[in-house]
Chain A
Amino acid sequence: EGQLLESGGGSVQPGGSLRLSCEGSGFTFNNYAVNWVRQAPGRGLEWVSGITGSGASTYYADSLRGRFTISRDNYKNMVYLQMNSLRVEDTAVYYCAKEVRSTSKGSFDIWGRGTSVTVSS
């Protein structure tokens, strides 16, 4: 069964940057879209961004467009989330998640364990 593993989280001051990584294994990586979903402490889930299997198309939550950039390297089975101009409200656990099939939307059957991002002065 497939797995995803996030890394790159940590503590950063407001205005700073972080790059999160998500490594996939156990499935044909370039066949599936991968998304980032975040969860602020004690809060619900919030979709952040998604990228198609080929990497040709990317999608963002309207509130984050312009600050976050998603990309992938299918040779390395990696998806990245570059986060710039970070704000206190970006503090959350960030999960990467895989679509259950190539034509679905929002159906994430494999999730990583999450990586924690804290934005604080």
Chain B
Amino acid sequence: QSALTQPPSASGSPGQSVTISCTGTSGDVGGYNYVSWYQQHPGKAPQLIIYEVSKRPSGVPDRFSGSKSGNTASLTVSKLQTEDEATYFCNSFGGSDNLIFGGGTKLTVL
């Protein structure tokens, strides 16, 4: 299966909101409510920020939210802060016990 499609870059100013998309197919994103989002700062391990489409792990600010419509999942970061500057990856269960990641979106806080 092909990687999920994410825009390579996104940007916003402090205090603004930005939404990052993650597009798959009916065989992955559209077919299952197992979409997760990860934040990765340079040289660090990824951190889970959204799982099962819209659930937030404890400790993740409610400025981060997730949703899904059809074959596209979205991550919205509200009230942007400078520390939100990072690369964001989505993943989805793809059936047959297969997991697929997106290519990543580098978020710049201007």
Contact = CB atoms under 8 A, between A and B. Distances in A.
B103 A104 contact: no
B48 A100 contact: yes
B33 to A, nearest CB: 10
A62 B98 contact: yes
A47 interface: yes
Interface string B78-93: 0000000000010111
A19 interface: no
Contact of A44 (B51, B97, B99, B104): B104
Interface string A80-108: 00000000000000010100100011111
B100 interface: yes
Contacts of B93: 105-106
Contact of B102 (A35, A44, A61, A107): A44
Contacts of A113: 45
A47 B35 CA distance: 14
A111 B29 CA distance: 23
Q: In which size bucket is the chain B interface?
A: 20 to 34
For this complex, into which size category does the number of interface residues on chain A fall?
A: 20 to 34
A47 B91 contact: yes
Contact of B48 (A35, A44, A95, A108): A108
Contacts of B46: 37, 45, 95, 97, 108, 111
Nearest to B50: A107
A97 B100 CA distance: 15
A109 B34 contact: no
B24 to A, nearest CB: 12
B57 A100 contact: yes
A27 interface: no
Interface of B: 1, 3, 32, 34-36, 38, 40, 45-48, 51-52, 57, 89, 91-93, 97-104
17 contacts: A44-B104, A45-B104, A46-B101, A47-B91, A47-B99, A47-B100, A47-B101, A59-B97, A62-B1, A62-B98, A97-B46, A105-B32, A105-B99, A106-B51, A108-B46, A108-B48, A114-B45
